Structure 1
Amino acid sequence: MTIGGPHEKDFVPLLDVVFDWMELFRYLQFGLLWLVLGVASSIGLGSGLHTFVLYLGPHIALFTMKVVQCGRVDLKIAPYVTVQLKTGPSWMDRNCTEYGPPLFSSQQGSRLPLSSILPQVQLEAILWGIGTALGELPPFFISRAGSELEVMKELDSSSTKDGGVVPNPLFDLAGIMCGQFGIPFWTFFISTMIAKAFIKTHIQVC
């Protein structure tokens, strides 16, 4: 038996606040996961952890196989639901009948257009791509700092010795060259992010 009263009015908004914070935490966890995996993939001149092959690629493949099997793309309860985080009832473990009848079907079976599947995995792919762009920043900053240091040495030194920054082979060569030639930070980073997060990543996803 429950007794209604004024306390119910205070309790419902409190629950809403708790769930809002939980939702925000899940989005932050989701974003951080794919950013970190992107950084891990980008470090060391591509010799870092190949997180596209290990994480993002399998996630996209499993989701694609499931939506083709079920004939519909609305399998996620929220954008942050991934195999890695196991947030909410995973779409992998649920039966297709729980989602309802197929929305895409033909005589040959379920056929889903790429334009319907892509938006469902686009957020994690873009976050991963931004992470790979962030992974290019250390060689850029180190090369630029080394270049500025060499200029200061040349100004302070009376000798005319040839000198330069010896690039570490583990650093990304493009970042090193941009830092060496004084490319502005935002020009380098925005160009890298557009190329990696929106062009290269979408090619890989497709």
Structure 2
Amino acid sequence: MPHSEATINRGPAAAAENRRAILAAARTVFAERGYHAPLSAVAKAAGVGQGVLYRHFPTRLQLAFAVFDEHWAAYEALAEDPEPSAFGRLWRLVVDRTIENVAFVEMVLDARRTETEYDGAERMRALIGPPLERAVAAGLVDPALTVDDVMLAQQMVYGVVVCSPDPAGLRERVARALSTGGLLPPLT
């Protein structure tokens, strides 16, 4: 009988590698199928069993928080940029991420419903405020624009994205919806 190579269980030694694989797979699965995609699809794409996935991330929300931490890091970096143009770059990034990965907004909505201590909206407001003030002071945006306006506009982007039956031309529809108010900088 020929000898077959058995898969060796690396146990705890594989934990960091498994975690990275799960996060990469979740990023892809959430982007393609949305926040409510089956976690079994994430585990399969990562090449791990569901038990391994749940050992690292006991809940969907914990997995999503870990996946979308990179979004927050990018937002925070732009918010800290002292240049008045940082607000425009931050706004474009928020819009792009909403279009490309509606699962991020779905995660925020789920967290708002289920996690009483979740502060995502306040965190976003705090990020937007300082760069918006710098942009207003530099004359780059309409002085009437408020953080509440920006938050409302982001909600409009989400609405356009989830209500669009065809992804073709989605960016153009978002740009058109946002241009109707005239307060926000163009997305070009």
| TM-score (structure 1 length as normaliser) | 0.28
- Bigger-Rg structure (1/2): 1
| TM-score (structure 2 length as normaliser) | 0.30
Which structure's residues are more often helix, by fraction?
2
